[in-house]
Amino acid sequence: MALEIKDPAVNNTPLKKSINETKLPVIALIGMPNSGKTTLFNALTGSNFKTSNYPGATVEYSIGSLVNRFGFSSYVMDSPGIISLNPSSPDEDVTISGLFNHPKFGLPDVVIVSCDCTQLSRQLFLVKQVIDTGFKTIVALTMNDLLDKKDMFVSEEKLGKILNAPVIKINSKKKEGINELIRKAEEMYLDESIVDYKSTIRKPGHPAEEDVAKLYDYTEQTEREVLESKNNIDINEVNRKAFRSLSRTPDLNSMKLDKVFLHPIWGIFIFVISMGIIFTSIFWIAQPAMDIIDTAFSSLSQLVADSLPAGAWYSDLITNGLINGFGSVMIFVPQIVILFILLGLLEDTGYLARAAMLIDKPLSKFGLNGRSFIPMLSGYACAIPAMMAARTISNRRERYLTIMIIPLMSCSARLPVYALLLAMVVPPDKPWIAGIGLGALYLFSIIASAVTAGIISKFKKTDEKSTFMLELPPYRTPVFRHVFKNTYYKALVYVKQAGPIIIVISLLLWALTYFPNVNPEIPESKTKGLTEEQISKVIESERLNTSFAATIGKNVFEPVLKPLGWDWRVGVSLISAFAAREIFVSAMAITFNITESEDDEDNFQTSILASMREARSPDGTRPLFTTASTISLIIYFMFAMQCLSTVAVARKETGSWKIPAIQIVFYTIMAYVLAFITYNGLNLLGIQ
């Protein structure tokens, strides 16, 4: 399930248009991590990329067009945060190569460097580097509101003079200074006083330590000159008296809060509780909304079934295949929304960076890094953005290992599958057991991934040094509006992407289960004394049993799957689920041919469960879905690499087929073996 945000107005390759349009000027946004680039980008382009209070939120450059309102048509490029022009991790490489040799744009016409003015001496480091490279540079001062709280402000004129570049204060959230920024960018673009300035721009090499020290001397000097106090007190005087220089003291509240959040006991307690709350509330809070969606889809399916000619070949396809298939995936939108809201809120507070720091030591025991934490956590939503988030890990081995284990995180696409299968094994009068079961699955997936990482890291050693340096952003009250907006777009993407896949796979599966024996001959003896409805069921099951899907399934899948307690229908559903895991549910609906739904008042989930309970094992002696075979199916889903998009992203992020190939082979074998052990082990224990 791909959950990348793709705003229609913004995409990474809008440039196959006319030559005229490629001639549009390009403005690049550069800046240190968490300095407010994406917030500015969204204000400039009207897009909705994710901003969050975590350094490393953006890991890919994105290109958008300036909103018409500004009256200056140009492209804007957002980029991952960098510390200096000398990159040390893949996300920083993205920025540097986007800045110096973008495959389509070449060099940008204007560079806007965002500069968090609460840490002026540090952030001016990058500003100065960019200016010295020769770019037409504008400095956008961000976080002025925070500096204001310390009773200080930056003098733009003085800073502009020292840097010899325009400086503009902005607040992207309140849309202040944005217009001025654009006017300046336009002016600089049109300024042709420096002929052919681009040809002089060179990517700087590796700096020497002395250069870094010298550059910092310069920024400190500059900071002293431009920082002013609101109350007309001489800052130098203040700094001289108090030992801690006021301008370089981090946010005081954050320091106090860190005493609690990183406390030896409370720190761990808060970590465990907050993770626990996130994963349990997904189930408790979402239930009412899920029930509403379930009912809505069931009534829709009922309504359509009533208005379509009964018995027509397409009635079944539309009601069972399409409506119920789509419904079975939509049911999980509330859970996904809640997961995204909670993660978004937590991210926006600035806590996640602390969580990453806290978990660094334990993760390093498994060959991972504190920076693996955010990718792993987002893996619970979807593996695709999670693998991309691993770009912030500078050590290659740790990054590959993180990418390696991300598919084991229980992503949101598994929820529909688990929910369905758990409902099979849990007694209907005790639904809370399913909640506990899901919690256990989540916990188990963490343990499984840690063990896998530990084993792999034992085999693969390197001398590449592991590092962990992470800026801890100030704590902030999350902006609910932003989080909700982000969540809305993500949910929209989920729905939009699930829709077409489900329709295509459903049609395909339906055709495979319907042809070639469309009107099977049933011997008289078999239909004797049966009602019309019963006869149509016999016909249907005969048609299914002689279909293409059955022929392939019985010959190819059944011999392999029989030791796990499954039949060809499960096999066909598993293969369909390779396109995306949640397809499994709608594929089951088609292969098990739920005809009950027409005369049943009950909702979709109940009807699919009913036909699963009725299903018999290949030899017809016992039910197909016993506790043992259902649990083995759950175990299979925990490990199997059942997602094409994840394979593609793993290939892209690691630059070779090696890791995705290992993931497919290794995880599929592991899934099969563990499912086999589960099924036969449970049988041995007397659990059928």
Token pair recorded at residue 372? 């693996």
141: DSSP letter: E
d(CA 44, CA 681): 60
Q: How far is the CB of 156 from another protein (least distance, A)?
A: 19
Q: Is the peptide bond before 516 cis (omega within 30 degrees of 0)?
A: yes
Q: Does 44 bind ligand GTP (CB under 6 A)?
A: no
Instruction: Give one word for 38, left, alpha or beta, with left for phi > 0 and alpha for psi -120 to 50.
Output: alpha
Structure-derived torsion over alpha carbons of residues 510, 513, 516, 520, reported in degrees to the nearest 10? -120
Residue 207 touches which of another protein, ligand GTP, Mg ion, none (CB < 5 to 8 A by kind)? another protein
Q: E-strand spans in 209-295? A: 227-229
d(CA 109, CA 75): 10
Q: Does 58 bind Mg ion (CB under 5 A)?
A: yes
d(CA 659, CA 147): 46
Q: Does 207 bind another protein (CB under 8 A)?
A: yes
Q: Does 205 bind another protein (CB under 8 A)?
A: no
Q: Does 80 bind ligand GTP (CB under 6 A)?
A: yes
Q: Does 319 bind Mg ion (CB under 5 A)?
A: no
Residue matched to tokens 């382009």: 45
CA 249 to the chain's CA centroid = 34
What mask, x for binding ligand GTP by CB under 6 A, covers residues 156 to 185? ---------------xxx------------
What mask, x for binding another protein by CB under 8 A, covers residues 489 to 508? --------------------
Q: Which stretch binds another protein (CB under 8 A): 176-184, 212-220, 306-314, 441-449?
A: 212-220
Judged by CB under 6 A, the chain residues 319 through 348 that form the site for ligand GTP are 348
What mask, x for binding another protein by CB under 8 A, covers residues 447 to 486? ----------------xxx-xxxxxx--------------
132's enclosing H/E stretch is helix 120-133
Q: Does 255 bind another protein (CB under 8 A)?
A: yes
What mask, x for binding ligand GTP by CB under 6 A, covers residues 259 to 298? ----------------------------------------
> Based on the number of CB atoms within 10 Å of its own CB, is 455 exposed (0-12), middle (13-18) or buried (19 or more)?
exposed
Judged by CB under 8 A, the chain residues 41 through 100 that form the site for another protein are 83-84, 86, 88
Could you give the C-alpha distances from 669 to 286, 318, 632, in angstroms and in order? 34, 36, 14
175: DSSP letter: T
Q: Which stretch binds another protein (CB under 8 A): 12-20, 160-168, 172-180, 252-260?
A: 252-260
- SS3 of 31, please? strand
Q: What are phi and psi of 24, to 5 degrees?
A: -60, 145
Token pair recorded at residue 15? 């440039």
Total count of residues recorded for the chain: 688
Choosing from 31, 327, 344, 379, the residue that interacts with ligand GTP (CB under 6 A) is: 31
Token pair recorded at residue 350? 């600035």
Choosing from 38, 45, 62, 595, the residue that interacts with Mg ion (CB under 5 A) is: 38
Q: How far is the CB of 468 from another protein (least distance, A)?
A: 5
- HSE-CB for 223 with a 13 A CA cutoff: 25
Instruction: Give one word for 281, left, alpha or beta, with left for phi > 0 and alpha for psi -120 to 50.
Output: alpha
Q: Which stretch binds another protein (CB under 8 A): 155-163, 208-216, 447-455, 540-548?
A: 208-216
Residue 142 touches which of Mg ion, another protein, ligand GTP, none (CB < 5 to 8 A by kind)? ligand GTP
Residue 125 touches which of ligand GTP, Mg ion, another protein, none (CB < 5 to 8 A by kind)? another protein
Q: Does 349 bind ligand GTP (CB under 6 A)?
A: no
Residue 172 touches which of Mg ion, another protein, ligand GTP, none (CB < 5 to 8 A by kind)? ligand GTP
Q: Which is nearer to ligand GTP, 176 or 600 (CB)?
A: 176
CB 51 within 8 A of CB 57: yes
Q: Which stretch binds ligand GTP (CB under 6 A): 36-44, 442-450, 553-561, 661-669?
A: 36-44
Q: Does 52 bind ligand GTP (CB under 6 A)?
A: yes
Torsion sign (Cα): 316, 322, 325, 327: negative
Q: Which is nearer to another protein, 115 or 561 (CB)?
A: 115
> Residues in contact with ligand GTP, total (CB under 6 A)?
26
Q: Does 252 bind another protein (CB under 8 A)?
A: no
Sequence-distant (6+) residues with CB within 8 A of 210 are none
Token pair recorded at residue 65? 């067009």
Degrees, nearest 5: CA angle 131-68-14:
75
Sequence-distant (6+) residues with CB within 8 A of 370 are 356, 357, 358, 359, 360, 361, 363, 364, 468, 470
Q: Does 262 bind another protein (CB under 8 A)?
A: yes
Judged by CB under 6 A, the chain residues 449 through 478 that form the site for ligand GTP are 476
Q: Which is nearer to another protein, 197 or 218 (CB)?
A: 218
64's enclosing H/E stretch is strand 62-65
Of 348, 413, 344, 329, the residue nearest 377 (C-alpha): 344
Q: Does 43 bind ligand GTP (CB under 6 A)?
A: no
Choosing from 360, 558, 582, 653, the residue that interacts with another protein (CB under 8 A) is: 360
Q: How far is the CB of 486 from Mg ion (least distance, A)?
A: 13
Q: What are phi and psi of 140, to 5 degrees?
A: -105, 110
Q: Which stretch binds Mg ion (CB under 5 A): 32-40, 302-310, 496-504, 518-526?
A: 32-40
Choosing from 145, 148, 157, 191, the residue that interacts with ligand GTP (CB under 6 A) is: 145
Residues in the site for Mg ion, rule: CB under 5 A? 37-38, 57-58
Residues in the site for another protein, rule: CB under 8 A? 83-84, 86, 88, 118-122, 125, 206-207, 209, 212-213, 216, 243-245, 247-250, 254-255, 258-259, 262-265, 267-268, 353, 356-358, 360-362, 370, 463-465, 467-472
